[in-house]
Amino acid sequence: MTEREKMEQGAWYDPGADRELREARRRAADLAFVYNQTQPSDRDRQGELLRELFGHVGDHASVLAPLQVDYGYNVSLGDRSFINHGAYLMDCAPITIGNDVFIGPNLGAYTAQHPLVAEERNLGVERALPITIEDDCWLGGDVKIMPGVTIGRGCVIGAGSIVTRDVPAGHLAVGAPCRVVRAITDEDRIGL
C-alpha cells in the first residue's frame, strides 16, 4: 500500500517518504502562492485558481487571501460559502465545508494527528481524520478545528473556540475547548 493510500484510509503514513505526496504539496503551495498574489479585484482569475486548487468549489463561493493548504484537492467548498482572510486548511484528509457557511478570519482546520510517544513521533508519521462543517454554519474569527470533528448544520461557533469534539446540529458552542452552550431557537430571531 502506498503512503497516499494509507493517508486516504486514515492509517498511519509517512508524508515525507512518498514522492507523489511531496509533489502534491509543492503544487498546492505554488497554487496558493499565486492565489495569494492575485489582485482581489481579479475575481475571475481567483475563481480559476481556487477551482484548480480545491477538489470542489460551489457557485458563488469566496475565499479571501491569504490562504494556505497542504494538498488542496481534499477541500470541498459549498455554494455561497465564505472564508475570510488567513485560513489554513490542513487537508491531509477531506475537509468538507457545506453550503451557506460563513467563516471568520484565521480559521485553522487541522486533519493531521501525530503520535503521542516521542520516539514514534520522531519517525515522521502521521494520520489524518476528516473535518466536516455542514450547511448554514457560522464560525467566528480564530476558530481551530481538530481532526475528525463534524460541526452540525446551522451551528454557530464562537470566536477563539478550539473545537475538539463534534457539535450537534443547531447549537451555539464556544470556548477552549469548545463546549455546547445551548440550542439555537426561534427566540434568537432578529425579525427580518
The residue written with cell numbers 427566540 in the block is 187
Q: Give the C-alpha separation, 55 to 48, whole Å.
A: 12
The residues near 179 (Cβ < 8 Å, ≥ 6 apart) are 173
Q: Give the C-alpha separation, 6 to 163, whole Å.
A: 25
CA distances from 156 to 137, 143, 179 (A): 6, 11, 11
> 96 with 109: CB under 8 angstroms?
no
Q: Give the C-alpha separation, 178 to 174, whole Å.
A: 5
Residue 24 DSSP SS3:
helix
171 catalytic? Reply is no
Of 56, 60, 85, 114, the catalytic one is 114
> 50 with 87: CB under 8 angstroms?
no
Torsion angle, alpha carbons of 36, 49, 95, 145, to 10: 10
User: Which grid cell is 5?
Assistant: 493510500
Kindly list the catalytic residues.
114
